[in-house]
Structure formats: structure tokens, C-alpha cells
Chains A and B, each alone.
Chain A
């Protein structure tokens, strides 16, 4: 039986740091659920035994260093262009498992075209879409996903739909797209939702392994720093406000 890092046997481990993560400390703010999302993806890569044949596509945002955290090969794409880069990798090397890791600024603002066209073409890739309703890295500006009335650096009086339109609902938009094989929205605010998020992430990667088409999981995430909340207040705000605008669920399942 193999030894784990702590010198215990695997059989005794109820929970270990997933092999899909490197030992590098993630640079996210305390309590930011970007880390939780990384951890769940890493667990799934380990459980599906695909770490060795996976390429992660890091994008622009707080997760710009994702290539240091995932224990896979990785590339770094220009802002919003993750799905275009992933398309190239997948087409050149169909055996490779490719996923992009994109924030809502990256995917829903500057990169909206890339994700829609990749879905439209049914590219056999997996997109991890982190929706925290702000541009975190650049200090909390409004994103397309910002809630009505939400105060951000660029909407100090709250988002006004007359001025900025309504929040963009990516899953609902993509759900009619024939290239999409798996599409779900999850969150990570208590043990139950974390377990559910992991099931959807696993299903999304399985979709790609099965060659069924495009898969995307939207993870409603926290940004304690720019929501000006503690990590626990931020989780409560997801429950009370974000989930009203963004209902959880599986929108498309090729095998369901």
C-alpha cells in the first residue's frame, strides 16, 4: 500500500490534498472560493485518472496563476481567449483532456464570443466558469453578471439596468445551443453544495472523455475582498442574493 505525504496509508485517508494540485500555496484572498473550485477540479482529475493527459488553460483574472496550482500541463491564454486556445489544443491532440478556467469578466465580457462559438461548434472541451459578479483582479468593477443594485467600484450607487442592462445568465443563454452536451450551475457555500458541485465537475469531464460535446459548469463563487464582506458573510450573500438571480441546476445532460 502506498504511503501518503503524511506517512499514513491511503486506506486510512478520509481526505487528502488532491494529487491534481501542486504543493504551491494559492494566492487567493482568505476564504475566496476560487480555491474551493481548484480543489474540486483537482480531486476529479485524480479520481478520473486523467492528470497525466490533461492541459489546463489559465486565463486572465485572479486565477491567472492557475497553471502553477494544477498538477497538469498548462498554458496561459490572453484575456477571454481560453476557449479558442483550448480548441487548438483539442483539435491538434484529440486524446488530450482540455479545460479552461475562466472568471465572469474573462468569459462573459471580453471573451463572450469565444465561449459561444466554441459551444456552437460543439468543441469537445470543458469550461470551468467562475461567476463572482465582479472583476476581482482589477479591484471589483462591474461585470456583465453583477446583480441589479449591486454596488461595485464602477457602480457606486448600485447597478442600474437602465444604464447597464440586466445580469447576463450564461447557462440559460447556452442551454439552447445544440453543441452543448453538459451544462450545470453550482455553488460552494456548504458541504451539500460543495458535494453537488463536485458531481457536476466530474460529469463535465466525463462528457469530454465520452467525446459527447461541449461541457460547462458555472460555479457561483465568492469575492470577499471586493464584496467588502468576511468569507462567511460572502457565502451568506450568495445564498440570499446570487442564487435568486442565478438558480442552481443541471440545464443540459447528454446522458440524462
Chain B
């Protein structure tokens, strides 16, 4: 499947609270193996093609770390 949405996570602001992981219905997100500067293992996008753009992760993140963009049609067809 083509990637239709781009989920951007600010890994330096992420505190690994796990709230977005719980509320993502598509299991798009996972945990990084690298710590950030604050010592947390931040969330990262593992399965971008599964994202439906529902926005639950961004809505629930207490640290406003998540941004979601629609991938323009032409790009998603090419990639």
C-alpha cells in the first residue's frame, strides 16, 4: 500500500509516555531503540503505510510532539 499520510514525531520532545501507542487504532507507531537527549526512548513511525490519518495520536499526545500531513496524490503514487 502507498503512504497516504506523513506522521512526524518530535523525538526530542517525546517523553515516551505511551499514550499515542495506546490510541493508534492501526498500530503505526513503535518505540525507538535510541534514547533522546532527555534519556527517553521516543516513539517513532514503524508502519507509515498503515496510517489512516485519523489524528488520534496527535489529539492525545500531551506534549504536542506529533504532526500529521496528507501526502499529495502525485507523490504517493510515485513512491
Partner pick for A190 among B18, B23, B63, B72, CB 8 A cutoff:
B23
Partner pick for A39 among B15, B16, B62, CB 8 A cutoff:
B62
Residue A163 interfacial (CB < 8 Å): no
Chain B residue nearest in CB terms to A34: B62
Residue B67 interfacial (CB < 8 Å): yes
State in angstroms the CA–CA spacing of A18 and B64 once bound together: 8
> In the complex, how many angstroms separate the beta carbon of A55 from the nearest chain B beta carbon?
21
Q: Mark B9-24, 1 if CB is under 8 A from A, else 0.
A: 0101101111100110
Are the CB atoms of B5 and A31 closer together than 8 Å? no
- For A14, the chain B residues whose CB sits under 8 A away are 5, 53, 55, 58, 68-70
- For B12, the chain A residues whose CB sits under 8 A away are 25
Residues of B within 8 A of A (CB): 5-6, 8, 10, 12-13, 15-19, 22-23, 40, 53, 55-56, 58-64, 66-72
Further contacts, 4 of them, CB under 8 A, given A6-B67, A12-B71: A14-B69, A15-B59, A15-B68, A232-B18
Top 9 nearest A-B pairs (CB, nearest first) are A35-B62, A31-B17, A30-B15, A30-B17, A15-B58, A14-B68, A15-B68, A8-B69, A12-B70
